[in-house]
Copies of this chain bind each other. A is one copy, B any other.
Amino acid sequence: MERIKRYLRSAAGYQAVCAKWLVLAALVGCVVGPLGGAFGLALNWANATRGAHPWLLYLLPVAGLVIVFLYHRFDPDGGGSTNQIFVSVREHKPLTLRTAPLIFVSTVATHLFGGSSGREGAALLLGGSVSGQLGRALRLENRDCRLMTMCGMAGAFSAIFGTPLAATIFTLEVVDVGSMQYAALLPCLVSALLGVFISGKMGLAPEAFVLQAEAAPTPDNLVRVIILGALLAALSIFFCELLHVTPKLYRKFFPNIYLRVAAGGVLIIALTKLLGTTDYNGAGAAVIEAAIDGEAVPYAFLLKMLFTALTLGAGFKGGEIVPIFFTGATFGCVAAPLLGLPPQLGAALGMVALFCGCTNSPLASICLAIEVFGGQCVSLFALACAVSYMLSSYFSLYREQHFLHSKL
């Protein structure tokens, strides 16, 4: 009981820190929530507008030139890569404020004119830069600015994707795999919960699907899921390497950055015309939905990887996560029936486990599965993620991701 007395003396300190972070995190949520909501609505508008006006695709090379010009002129060092946020968190260096408008405009432009990219990576930069600078404006010390950056990442990710828990755990887990900074748990969660509440009020619907087919966790289904997880691990390695290698190839053939992005735009236009479908342009939400309902083209996952690598490698902007969902869902939908699993479940497992393999964040992936699929088949999702994590080796979407423990 002596320890309780000691605690009571220090309790005021705990409560003060807790109250301070509740206020700061709520502030971040109220700032990045509307930003993330606006970003999500803008991206939905961009994808819908391109659907209604297919000729917008022909302006993709021009959009690329503008994007490259903006980055070259205003942020030559940063460059709008998701790796920036890793460095910011690890080295306690807030991102510049101009990171936010740059990534906002360039990602919306990429989607509007038919490039293939995501939005979560962009949301991390958007939220992280604004909240980090907010911390600086409030004259917080470096350590606190870092936590503010993390709150902004979680808040914006949650606002745009509607998954507060996954956004929080992803932020805690992804930078240094194996270390859990639980001190950031409450602040990030509060920002994430407010972020999704605000973006919901703005009319942005959270990502949520109902699985049309389930499977019991019987030993034979566990074996099937393990095999599917292993295939997804291999696919995640291929995806990560493709995204790392494409920029090098582009640089080799097109040393000039303007020529490079224009060539990328032309390549996307040519491929789109060749295939005669716009399924692989923009976010591809309709294709992901169809896959989770059990319908996918067998080669869709290959084409999506190609489109995404060509888009991001050329200098267009946006995240990698929605393309990962597209790739994983279409692959899983096709592969699952070969293993004796329902295609709908395969698509869902593919989406989540490919995310896990590419980002090395198994707990965030499991939370994502729970929030997106409402807790159905949670043990199968966990198993697919665990296998995908182990077999994906140290390959990662993020060059700046560190591993604290051996995977084996």
Q: Which residues of A line the B interface, CB within 8 A?
A: 1, 3-4, 7, 10-11, 13-15, 17-18, 22, 164-165, 168-169, 173, 177-183, 185-186, 189-190, 193-194, 196-197, 217-219, 222, 226, 230, 237-238, 241, 245, 362-363, 366-367, 370-371, 374-376, 378-379, 382-383, 386-387, 389-391, 393, 395, 404-408
Contact = CB atoms under 8 A, between A and B. Distances in A.
A18 B390 contact: yes
Contact of A189 (B17, B169, B197, B382): B382
Contact of A395 (B7, B189, B194): B7
17 contacts: A4-B238, A15-B391, A18-B390, A165-B379, A168-B382, A169-B363, A177-B182, A182-B407, A183-B405, A183-B408, A185-B362, A185-B386, A186-B386, A194-B219, A197-B218, A374-B375, A375-B375
A395 B217 contact: no
A217 B195 CA distance: 11
A245, A371, A379: most-surrounded residue (chain B CB, <10 A): A379
Contacts of A185: 362, 386, 389-390
A56 B402 CA distance: 58
Contacts of A382: 164-165, 168, 189
Contacts of A241: 1, 3-4
Contacts of A164: 217, 379, 382
